[in-house]
């Protein structure tokens, strides 16, 4: 039997919606049911570009707003060869944040349009499924104190949430909304079911190009 490609699954949502928790559980569940699956996250802070981003997020350095937006995008593009290689090998990738966070966060800054923010990420591998973990940012904030990184304030997260709402109007992306206010296990079961069907549907189709 020909080796079918892996499927590109992205989890998005405001801080503390539960993305990292659910990515880990999903990878484990997929592996247990016989799929090859791995987790990735953006920003990937381990590359040279990622180190610049990490220092900026930790407020150890300043970067001009357009510049850091382009670095976040470059951080995705530099990993595209690896993403394609893994998908070709039949490995399903579960990705914690992608271009949607890129657009939602930068466009929460004054003077940035959604259209401008999307441009550098046009043509990235298009996720087969984008799971939006929907939660009121005020409820998510109750899951723990904000850290000290950039963007970790209620006012900023509210703007990010509104920008996600706009991005989710785009029918060219396969968005699925998940009620992330439920227990970790309930959310997981919901996500697992959606992913199993996405894997069955997508594995015979070529990977698309985002926003193109």
How far apart are CB 98 and ligand 2DT at their closest, in Å?
7
* Residue found by looking up tokens 């070709």 in the block: 88
Contact (CB, 8 A) for 114 and 167: yes
Residue 12 binds to ligand ADP (criterion: CB under 6 A): no
User: Does position 143 bind ligand ADP by CB under 6 A?
Assistant: yes
57 binds ligand 2DT (CB under 6 A): yes
Rounded CA gap, 89 and 4, in Å?
8
- Note whether 44 and 102 are within 8 A (CB): no
Q: Of 86 and 118, which has the nearer Cβ to ligand 2DT? A: 118
User: Cβ closer to ligand 2DT: 105 or 164?
Assistant: 105
Does residue number 43 form part of the binding site for ligand 2DT (CB under 6 A)?
A: yes
CA dist 158 and 118 (Å) reads 20
Site string for ligand ADP, 164-193 (x = CB under 6 A): -------------------xx--x------
Among 151, 192, 194, 203, binds ligand 2DT (CB under 6 A): 151
Dihedral (CA of 156, 160, 165, 167) sign: positive
What values do phi and psi take at 36, rounded to 5?
Answer: -85, 120
Contact status, residue 101 vs residue 156, Cβ threshold 8 Å = no
Q: Return the residue matching tokens 């963007």.
A: 151
**Peptide linkage before 38 cis (omega within 30 of 0):** no
- Count residues near ligand 2DT (CB under 6 A): 9
Binding mask 89-108 vs ligand 2DT (x if CB under 6 A, - otherwise)?
A: --------x---xx--x---
- Contacts to ligand ADP by CB under 6 A: 13, 15-21, 143-144, 183-184, 187
- Contacts to ligand 2DT by CB under 6 A: 42-43, 57, 72, 97, 101-102, 105, 151
């Amino acid at each position: 039997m020909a080796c079918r490609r892996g499927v590109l699954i992205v989890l998005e949502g405001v801080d503390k919606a539960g993305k990292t928790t659910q990515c880990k559980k999903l990878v484990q569940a997929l592996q247990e049911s016989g799929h090859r699956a791995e987790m990735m996250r953006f920003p990937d802070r381990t590359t040279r570009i990622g180190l610049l981003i990490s220092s900026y997020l930790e407020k150890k350095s300043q970067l001009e707003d357009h510049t850091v937006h382009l670095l976040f995008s470059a951080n995705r593009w530099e990993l595209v060869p690896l993403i394609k290689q893994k998908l070709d090998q039949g490995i399903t990738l579960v990705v914690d944040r992608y271009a949607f966070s890129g657009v939602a966060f930068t466009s929460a800054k004054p003077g940035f349009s959604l259209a401008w923010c999307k441009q550098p990420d046009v043509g990235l591998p298009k996720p087969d499924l984008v799971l939006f973990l929907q939660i009121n940012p005020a409820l998510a904030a109750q899951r723990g104190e904000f850290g000290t990184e950039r963007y970790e304030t209620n006012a900023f997260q509210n703007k990010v949430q509104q920008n996600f709402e706009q991005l989710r109007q785009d029918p060219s992306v396969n968005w699925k909304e998940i009620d992330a206010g439920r227990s970790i296990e309930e959310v997981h079961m919901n996500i697992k079911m959606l992913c199993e069907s996405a894997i069955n549907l997508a594995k015979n189709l070529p990977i698309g190009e985002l926003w193109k």
